[in-house]
Amino acid sequence: MLVAFSITPSTADADGGVRDAVAAAVQVVRDSGLPNRTDSMFTTIEGSWDECMQVVKDACEAVSKFGPRVALVLKADIRPDRSGEMSAKLTRLEAALEELDS
């Protein structure tokens, strides 16, 4: 399964940022060993249901140290018969775009 998520604390630092809290969450993701990708809005991970949900839970707990409340946005693509979809989906998209240019 693929899980894309964003976690933020309820409070920001003096500059209005949440950089340190987000860094703590991303560190949890990277330490998990699951395939992952982080962009400016979401982090995506790939693994089993239990693996992914544990990482999301652990990342929320890491962010909770930065404020009394945590917001979580989560989207999942649950396909138990697939793996490697984090890259494969992009490969298929690029092929479709190339076909449009032909």
Contact between residue 86 and residue 37 where contact means Cβ atoms under 8 Å apart: yes
Gap between the Cα atoms of 80 and 48, Å rounded: 8
**Two tokens at 53?**
């949900």
* pLDDT grade for 17, boundaries at 50, 70 and 90: confident
Please give the pLDDT value at position 23.
Answer: 96
Of the chain, the percentage scoring pLDDT greater than 90 comes to 79
The domain 2-101 having CATH identifier 3.30.1490.20: the answer here is no
Average pLDDT score over residue span 50-54? 98
pLDDT class for 72, splitting at 50, 70, 90?
very high
pLDDT of 80: 86
Q: Where are the domains of the chain?
A: 2-101
* CA–CA gap between residue 45 and residue 37 (Å, rounded): 7
* pTM score over 0.85: yes
pLDDT > 70 fraction of the chain, expressed in percent and rounded: 97
Query: What average pLDDT score do residues 37-63 get?
Result: 97
Cα-based angle 56, 57, 62 (whole degrees, multiple of 5): 95
Q: What is the mean pLDDT of the chain?
A: 93
